[in-house]
Amino acid sequence: MLRYSNRWIRQILDISQFYMVNLLQEMLDDKTEAAFVDFIINNNDGIYYVYDSRISIIPAEFTSKQTNRYLSALEQLAGFSCAGEKLSFAVDWINRHRDEKGEWDLGPSVKDGINFPLSDSWRRPEDRRRDCTARIEKLLLQLNK
């Protein structure tokens, strides 16, 4: 007989995991959606598979792998109609980190092979800035719908 740990079962059934967050987009009434997004934002474990910290707490350092994962969590939540309102604190934080050209740079450590790089190479910092800016602008467009 197979034995499963409670942790494993909880991860499979948890509504705060990646699959549930994606499956429930456009499936909930407004009141339920707002409550669900609030739950995810304030969940101490974030979104399982994507970000393992509370989304309501902004990463301490913008140019970091943690911010890269944080942006992934925001991208998951951006599919909900109430996300723009609920995540306005994160949008403000992102906008405060624009450089003098109006671009973003998460730094070379965020090169993960999944979200980055979009360009063929990051040997030139301007390619990295362009990639970071494209990703963040797309996210902000989704949150400003």
**pTM across the whole model:** 0.88
pLDDT under 70: residue ranges of the chain: 1-13
Q: How far apart are the first and last CA of the chain?
A: 50
- Residue 143 corresponds to which amino acid? L
* pLDDT for the residue 62: 97
Q: Provide the pLDDT for residue 10.
A: 57
Q: Find all residues with CB under 8 Å of 81, minimum gap 6, and list them.
A: 26, 30, 33, 145
Q: Which two tokens stand for residue 86?
A: 């609920």
